[in-house]
Amino acid sequence: MSTGPGIDIAAVTAIDVHVHVQIDDSGRTASPRALTEAMAAYFGSSEKPRTVDQTATYYRERGMAAVVFTVDATTNLGHAPNSIDDLAAGARRNADVLIAFGSVDPLQGAAAVDEARRQVQELGVRGFKFHPSVQAFDPSAEEFTPLWAAIEELQVPIIVHTGQTGAGAGTPGGWGFRLSLSNPMLLDDVAARHPHLQIIMAHPSVPWQDEALSIATHKANTWIDLSGWSPKYFSPALVRAARTYLKHKMLFGSDLPALTPDRWLKDFALLEYPDDVQRMILKDNAVRLLGLEP
Beta pairing class for 250-251 and 98-100: unpaired
User: Percent of the chain at pLDDT above 70?
Assistant: 97
Residues 6+ apart with CB under 8 A from 280: 247, 248, 250
pLDDT tens by residue, the chain, 294 residues: 333 456 899 999 999 999 999 999 898 988 877 777 777 777 777 788 899 999 999 999 999 999 999 999 999 999 999 999 999 999 999 999 999 999 999 999 999 999 999 999 999 999 999 999 999 999 999 999 999 999 999 999 999 999 998 887 878 888 889 999 999 999 999 999 999 999 999 999 999 999 999 999 999 999 999 999 999 999 999 999 999 999 999 999 999 999 999 999 999 999 999 999 999 999 999 999 999 987
| Strand ordering across the sheet containing 65-69 | 15-20, 65-69, 98-100
Separation of alpha carbons 97 and 13, rounded Å: 11
Contacts of 34 (CB under 8 A, 6+ apart): none
Say what the pTM is. Answer: 0.94
Quick one: pLDDT at residue 87?
97
Note whether 51 and 44 are within 8 A (CB).
Answer: no
Domains of the chain in start order, with CATH, are: 15-290 (3.20.20.140)
What does the pLDDT look like over 112-165, one tens digit per residue?
Answer: 999 999 999 999 999 999 999 999 999 999 999 999 999 999 999 999 999 998
